[in-house]
Amino acid sequence: MSKSITTRASELFRQAAGQGRGALDAGELKALLDGLGLAFDAGAPAGAADMRISLNSTREFGMVISAGLGGLEAELDEGNFRRDRGSVYAAAALTDAADFLGLFKRTLAYQKLAAVAQRAGAASPDAALEACFARLLELARAFAPENPDAPCVLQALELNPVQAGAQFTARGAACSFGAPQPARLPRPISKIDKLIHPKRIGLIGVSGTGMNFGRIILRNLMGSGYPKEQLLVLKPGEAEIDGVRCVEGLKAIDGKLDLLIVAVAASAVYELVDEIIATDAVEAVMLIPGSMGETKKSREPAARLAARINAAHGKPDGGPIFLGANCLGVVSHPGAYDSWFIPLERLPKPQKKPVRNSVMLSQSGAFMITRLSQNPWLDPAYMLALGNQTDLTHGDMLSYFAALPGIETLGIYIEGFKDLDGLHFARAVRKAVLNGKQVVVYKSGRTAPGQGGVMGHTASIAGGLTLFESVVRHAGAIVTEDFSTFDDLFYIAGALQEKKIGGTRLGAISGAGFEAVGMADNIETDGFAMEMGAIEDATVRKVEEILVAKKLDQLVEVRNPIDINPGADDEAHLDISEAFLQDPNIDAVVVGLDPTAPSVRALESSKLRPGHDINDPKSTVHLMPPMVERNDKPLIGIVDGGTLYDTMAARLMDQGVCVFRNCARGTRALVRYAQARLYADYLKDRRPGGTDF
C-alpha cells in the first residue's frame, strides 16, 4: 500500500472521528477498500467460494490478521473443524504476505477457491491473495496499537464475505478505530541477571522464633549452598537468625542488594514497595505474598501498586524489577540458590542431566513442583514463578532467556497476559527459535470455568484459546493441550536438541507386534504427519544378517515397521535400530525395547537367570547410550512395562537416552517435535525481510 493510501486512511479516520464516530460509514469504507485494491459491493451475487479476511486489534497480541471460511460458514464454531481448517491467525508483526498465504492454504476456504479456479480454467488465486494480504498487513502495521507513531488504532476491519474474481469483492465490510492507549514503560530486563545470579540477597519477613515462609526460604537458601555471608535479614531488634546477620531495614543496608525477597503479609507490601523504590537499595525484588489483585477488594490497590512500579522504570537506571506477587520463588542452579518456600525434604532436586540447559517459567508454582516431582529428568537450570506479573511479564522473561547462552529449551505455563504482552511473548518465541532454542508452552483456561479459576488464582485474564494457540504456534512455539503432553514435549525437546531432524521418515522396531503397529498408528497429528521410511536394499541385507546371527531369520520379515519377535535379545534390538539409523531413507527411529521379553536383560536382578539383568555388559542399559551418542539422528526407546522395569528406564534416562513408557506417547511426541524443528528451519531460511519477519 502506497504512502498516499496510508495518508488517505488517516484522513478517513479523522473525518469519522470529527463527526463523533468510531466507525467508517459506507462511503468511507468504499474509499478505504478502493485504496486496498478491493471492491465493495453489498449487492454482488454470492460466489461459489466465499472467504472472510479480518484485521483485529487484540488486547494480548496487538494487530492480528485472520482469514478463513466466509458467509454462513464463517459463523460455524471453530470446534467443528480440525486445526487451521476453519480459520488461520497470525500476529501482523510476525508475518508477511507470502508467509500468511502459506497459512491460509491450510484452510477449506483456500481449497474451495483453488478448486473453483481450476474448474473454471482460471489462474491460481495465489498471486491475488498474496497482493491482498500485503496491502492489509501494511494497513495493520500503520495503525497497530503497538505502533508509537500511529495517529489512531485500527480496532477492527472485517471483510465478510469476500468473493474472488478478476478483483476481490467484499459484499460485507465494517471498520472501527479508536484512540491509542498509553503503554507500560519497558522493564529493564537486563536486571533479570541480578535476580537469577545474585551476589547479595536480603530477606524481609523472616520469623526469629517460628518456621514461617520467610524462615523456610532462609533455610532453603542456605541448604542449597548459598553462602551465609552473602545473605542479609531485614529484621528490627535482631542481631542474627540461623547465623545470618540482621539489619534494621532498607536504610541500614551497606551498599546495594542484588535481590530482596519479600515474605510479609500482603497488606504490608504496598508501603514497603514505595520504600524500596525511594531508597534505591535493591536491583531486583521477589514478592512472595498472595491475594494481591486476586480478589475484588484487592484489585484496585494492586493496580495502583503496579502503576507506581511502572513509573519507577522511568528512572535513568530503570528502577528495580519485581517478580510476583503470589510468587513461589526461584530455583537458580547457576546462581546457587533455591528460594522456594517448599522444604527441601519435600522436593529433592538431584542433578539428572550432565549439563542443565533448560528453563521452566510458570505463573503457578505448584505446576512446576508437580512437573518436577513426577519428571525429575526435566531438570531445569532455572525455575521461576511469575505469579501475578505485577511487573515482570512472560514476554520479559522469555526475551531475556531467548538470548541467554547455554539455554536450549524453555517450558512455560501461562494463565494470562498483560496488555500487549502476548505480542512481546510471541516476538520472544520467534527470537528464541531463531537462536536455535525450543519453546514448549501450556496455556490454561481452556474452558469458561477454567478461565474463572485463572482469574481467581493469579489475577490473569485468559484470552481466546484458538487465537493464543494459532499466534504462539506461528511464532515458533510447541503449544501443548494438556499436562502430559507438556511433560512429553518439554522432555523430548531437551533430550533431542542436539540431534539432526532431517525429514519426516520414521523407522519403527519392536519385538511386540502390537507395539510396531502402534508406532505406525501414531505418526499423524493435526496438519502434520511423518511417514514410514522405505528402507533401502542394503539395510534389508544388513538386518537379514543380524536375524540369521540371532536365529530369527525364519520368524521375521524385514520391513518397516518391523516386528522382530519376542525371542530377540538386547543386541538384536539395538543392532537393527542402528541399521535403520544408518539408512539414508530414515530420519528418526523408535524402538520398543521389550522389557518383558525373556531374552532382554531388563530386570534389576534375575532369580531365574542370575546375571541376566541390566548389570550385564550386554544389556540395553550398557549398549544403548554409546549408540545414541554416536548417531546424529533421533533414537527413542520404549520401555513399556510396570514398576519392575522402572530401574531400566531410569538408568537409560540418566545416561541421556530418550525413553518413553508407552509407544503411542513416544511416537506422538516425536512427530510433534519433528514438526516444530522443521518449522524452525523454515523460519531460519526466511529470516527477514523486516524486523520481526
CATH code (residue 644): 3.40.50.261
* 520/467 same-domain check: no
Helix (H) or strand (E) holding 427: helix 421-434
* 138/67 same-domain check: yes
The whole-angstrom distance between residue 35's C-alpha and the CA centroid of its chain comes to 38
* 320/441 same-domain check: yes
Of 178, 213, 234, the one marking the end of a domain is 178
Opening angle at CA 346, ends 342 and 350, nearest 5: 100
552 found inside a domain: yes
* 160/229 same-domain check: no
Cβ contacts of residue 278 below 8 Å, gap of 6+? none
CA-to-CA distance for 614 and 272, rounded, in angstroms?
A: 58
* 487/587 same-domain check: no
For the chain, the domain total comes to 3
* 350/290 same-domain check: yes
Handedness of CA 582, 585, 587, 588 (dihedral sign): negative
690 found inside a domain: no
pLDDT at 448: 53
CA-to-CA distance for 671 and 523, rounded, in angstroms?
A: 6
* 545/574 same-domain check: yes
- Per-residue buried b or exposed e for 637-676, using 16+ beta carbons within 10 Å of the residue's own CB: bbbbbeeebebbbbbbbbbbbbbbeebebbbbbbbbbbbb
Instruction: Sort strands 531-532 and 562-563 into parallel, antiparallel or unpaired.
Output: unpaired
Q: Across the strands, what pairs with 479?
A: 441
556 found inside a domain: yes
CA-to-CA distance for 649 and 636, rounded, in angstroms?
A: 12
Cβ contacts of residue 84 below 8 Å, gap of 6+? 103, 106, 107, 470, 526, 527
CA-to-CA distance for 420 and 312, rounded, in angstroms?
A: 20
The whole-angstrom distance between residue 577's C-alpha and the CA centroid of its chain comes to 31
Domain with 160 in it: what CATH number? 3.30.470.20
Q: Across the strands, what pairs with 321?
A: 284
686 found inside a domain: no
Domain that includes residue 49, residue range: 3-178
pLDDT at 446: 62
Q: Cell 512427530 maps to which residue?
A: 671
Q: Cell 466466509 maps to which residue?
A: 70
Cβ contacts of residue 600 below 8 Å, gap of 6+? 511, 568, 569, 570, 573, 593, 594, 620
Q: Which residues of the chain have pLDDT under 50?
A: 1, 449-463, 689-691
* 138/241 same-domain check: no
Q: Across the strands, what pairs with 154?
A: 177
Cβ contacts of residue 691 below 8 Å, gap of 6+? none
Of 152, 178, 204, the one marking the end of a domain is 178
Q: Quick check: 43 and 184 in contact, CB under 8 A?
A: no
* 51/23 same-domain check: yes
Q: How many residues does the chain have?
A: 693
* 491/542 same-domain check: no
Of 136, 157, 178, the one marking the end of a domain is 178
688 found inside a domain: no
184 found inside a domain: no
Q: Cell 523460519 maps to which residue?
A: 683
CA-to-CA distance for 264 and 271, rounded, in angstroms?
A: 11
687 found inside a domain: no
* 662/566 same-domain check: yes
pLDDT at 456: 47
Helix (H) or strand (E) holding 271: helix 266-279
Q: Across the strands, what pairs with 332?
A: 337, 382
The whole-angstrom distance between residue 399's C-alpha and the CA centroid of its chain comes to 13
Alpha helices per DSSP H over 280-393 = 296-312, 365-374
693 found inside a domain: no
Residue type, 127: A
pLDDT digits (tens, 9 = 90+) for 478-517: 999 999 999 999 999 999 999 999 999 999 999 999 999 9
* 642/540 same-domain check: yes
Phi (first) and psi of residue 366, to 5 degrees: -65, -30
